[in-house]
């Protein structure tokens, strides 16, 4: 199992990083940013569908809660009616969980790439067509040593994660949506909007800042993706209301 993980996840990601490093500016930070964007683009259909489903689920939460109250004495009817709502909006309530299952091994492999460092033993895992660099510049833009901690990168990573959650919450409160009042689920989401970035900052602070740079890049990508999703959903609903 470990061998499969190394050969199909860790080693390809390591080689992608240094393939980019060798053919761009000799800056491991730039290579990390480009590598992260490449990975997100490859996985874009999965991430996009999951993020879109989660946005719609946030919007229909009040309706789900209402059905739970109406059919609280008939669980079978409750489940049936709730699934009809999901089907009506073409969302999978388990998409977030499925996305986690898909991306978790990739996240672990990326962390392994960054946390193991770039010793000669690690670089021996490069493919024959990927040259071993004569030197590895770990100073991002000549300013930040990515092998050490950096509080500013950590804070920025937390901020962008907060922005992504904020965009999701704003969509749930959009006047076009079906929800009228915030409920318990939305209050929990608000708490997680604060706790998520806080935990991210706490965890990343103990790691080399190269991990924070990766998290910052993928969070920034997610923010842009969420903006696009929100605009498309609002436009589609406006089009429906005008027809």
The token duo for 139 is 């100073």
Total domain count, the chain: 1
Instruction: With cut-offs at 50, 70 and 90, classify the pLDDT of residue 16.
Output: very high
Range of the domain at 20: 2-242
Residue 181 is predicted with a pLDDT of: 42
| Residue 145 host element (H or E) | strand 144-145
Residue 239 has pLDDT above 80, yes or no: no
Residue 151 is predicted with a pLDDT of: 94
Mean pLDDT computed over 150-166: 91
Distances from the Cα of 4 to the Cαs of 1, 41, 106, 118, 147, in angstroms? 5, 24, 13, 21, 27
- Measured from the Cβ of residue 222, the count of other Cβ atoms closer than 10 Å reads 20
Instruction: With cut-offs at 50, 70 and 90, classify the pLDDT of residue 150.
Output: very high
Condensed to tens digits (0 to 9), the pLDDT of residues 159-170 reads 998 998 888 777
Residue 242 is predicted with a pLDDT of: 72
Residue 9 has pLDDT above 80, yes or no: yes
Instruction: Look up the pTM and report it.
Output: 0.77
69 contacts: CB under 8 Å, gap ≥ 6: none
Listed residue (157, 226, 225) closest to 197, CA to CA: 157
Residue 177 has pLDDT above 60, yes or no: no
Residue of 239 and 124 predicted with greater confidence:
124
């Amino acid at each position: 199992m470990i061998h499969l993980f190394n050969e199909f996840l860790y080693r390809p990601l390591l080689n992608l990083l240094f393939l980019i490093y060798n053919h761009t500016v000799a800056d491991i930070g730039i290579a990390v940013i480009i590598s992260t964007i490449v990975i997100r683009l490859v996985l874009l259909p999965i991430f996009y569908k999951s993020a879109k489903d989660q946005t719609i689920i946030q919007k229909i939460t009040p309706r789900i809660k209402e059905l739970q109250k109406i059919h609280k004495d008939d669980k079978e009817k409750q489940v049936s009616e709730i699934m009809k709502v999901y089907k009506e909006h073409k969302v999978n309530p388990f998409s977030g969980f499925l996305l986690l299952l898909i991306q978790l091994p990739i996240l672990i492999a990326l962390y392994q790439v960054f946390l193991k460092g770039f010793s000669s033993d690690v670089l021996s895992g490069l493919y024959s067509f990927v040259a071993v660099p004569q030197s590895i510049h770990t100073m991002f833009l000549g300013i930040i040593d990515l092998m050490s901690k950096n509080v500013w990168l950590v804070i920025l990573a937390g901020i962008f994660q907060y922005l992504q959650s904020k965009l999701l919450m704003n969509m749930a409160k959009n006047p076009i949506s079906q929800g009228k009042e915030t409920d318990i689920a939305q209050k929990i989401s608000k708490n997680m909007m604060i706790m998520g970035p806080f935990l991210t900052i706490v965890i990343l602070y103990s790691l080399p800042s190269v991990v924070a740079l990766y998290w910052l890049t993928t969070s920034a990508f997610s923010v842009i993706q969420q903006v696009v999703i929100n605009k498309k959903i609002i436009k589609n609903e406006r089009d429906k209301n005008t027809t």
